[in-house]
Amino acid sequence: MSQQILILSQSHLEGTTDHVCQWMNHLQIPYLRVNGEDLFQMQHLGDLPSNSQTGVVWYRRKISSFPAKYSLKQDDFATQYTLKRFLIDEFNGLHAFLFYTIDRQKWMNDPISEDNLNKLHVLALARQHGLNTPFTEVVTTKAVIIRLLERCPELIVKPVSECILVEDAAGGQYKMLTKTISKANLQQVPEKFFPSLVQEKIIKKFEIRTFYLDGTCHSMAIFSQDNRNTKEDFRNYDNKRPNRTVPYKLPDDLELKLGQLMKALGFRTGSIDLMVDLQGNYHFLEINPEGQFGMVSYPCNYYLEKKVAQLLNKSILHEKEIY
C-alpha cells in the first residue's frame, strides 16, 4: 500500500488547515485529513491511521470541541469543571497514542516535544545556541522584584505556560495578558506570591514573527503604532490603527541559529517571536510550533500555505525513495 500524507487537525475553526488542504487539492497532492472529532466515530483502535499507511504527519490541532455534550446527572459548577478536565485528558490519551504508533521521524514536528514544550527550557536552549534572550527569572517575593528593578527599570510578568481565558460561573470571560511592573506600581505586588515568571522589558522598535519552514525563515516585521493598547503584546489588536506588517529578512547568522534551535527541538515548522530593541539588537522570545501562519503569509504575500503543501509532498516523495 502506498504511503500518504496525514494531517491531524480539527473540523472547525482551523482556517490554516483548510487553506493548506485546498492547495493540496489544487496541486493534486493526495492526503488524509483526520480531525479529532473523527475519533468519536471510530469502532476500534484499528480505525486509527496506521504507521504503514503513513509517510509524513503534519500535526496541527487535536480537536475543536467534542461533538456531544457530556454532563453529570447532578449538575454543579465545580464537578462539571472536573469532568470537563477528565474528558479532555481521556481524549488526549487516545490522541497521543498516535505519537507512539507512527514512527517519530515521520512527524514534521516531534509531537512529544511539541505537546510538552516548556518556555523556560526553550529560552535556556536558545541561549545555548547563541541567541540573545531577555533576562528571565522565576520569583516568589516582592523583595527579589525590588532587587531586579535595580537592574532593569521595568519587568513584565507572563505565564510559564500559556495565557488562559478565565470564566466565572456567570459566564463572564477574562483574558490574561502580559503585565508590566515598575517602581510606579510596585505597591500592588504582594510580599509573597506563587512562583511567577518575570522578564526584563525590552523597549522595542518593532517585533518580528518568523514562520520557520524546513530550513527557511519567512519573517514579518510588526510595527505597532504609538498606541498604548499594542505596546506590550501585538495580539491585543486595535482595530482602528492596525499595526503595520511588512516582509522582513533576518540576518543570515541569526537565521542559522534559529534553524539549529528548531532542529534541537525536533521541529521542521513553527512560529518564532523575536523583538528588535531601539539599538537594533534582536531578542529571541518564544516558539509556537503550531502557530497560525496565515497572519504572516497574507500580509507578506508569502504563500506559506502553498509552501507547506509542497513541503508535505516533497517529504512523501523523499520517503518513497528511501523505501
Binding site for another protein (CB under 8 A): 19, 22-23, 25-27, 205, 219, 221, 223, 225, 241-242, 244-251, 298-303, 305-306
Q: How far is the CB of 251 from another protein (least distance, A)?
A: 7
Of the candidates 49, 50, 44, the residue with the CA atom closest to the CA atom of residue 33: 49
Shorter beta-carbon distance to another protein: residue 46 or 280: 280
Indicate the length of the chain as a whole number.
Answer: 323
Beta carbons of 259 and 212 less than 8 angstroms apart: yes
Q: Is the dihedral of CA 258, 261, 263, 267 positive or negative?
A: negative
Query: Grid coordinates 514573527 are at which residue?
Result: 209
Q: How far is the CB of 17 from another protein (least distance, A)?
A: 13
Please report, as a single letter, which amino acid is at residue 206. F
Shorter beta-carbon distance to another protein: residue 126 or 221: 221
C-alpha 107/C-alpha 302 separation (Å) is 24
Q: How far is the CB of 247 from another protein (least distance, A)?
A: 5
Shorter beta-carbon distance to another protein: residue 171 or 280: 280
Shorter beta-carbon distance to another protein: residue 27 or 42: 27
- Cβ burial of 232 (10 Å; 0-12, 13-18, 19+) is middle
Q: How far is the CB of 236 from another protein (least distance, A)?
A: 19
Of the candidates 286, 275, 269, 292, the residue with the CA atom closest to the CA atom of residue 162: 286
Shorter beta-carbon distance to another protein: residue 217 or 265: 217
Q: How far is the CB of 301 from another protein (least distance, A)?
A: 5
Shorter beta-carbon distance to another protein: residue 62 or 283: 283
**CA geometry: angle 210, 221, 230, nearest 5 deg:** 110
Q: How far is the CB of 227 from another protein (least distance, A)?
A: 11
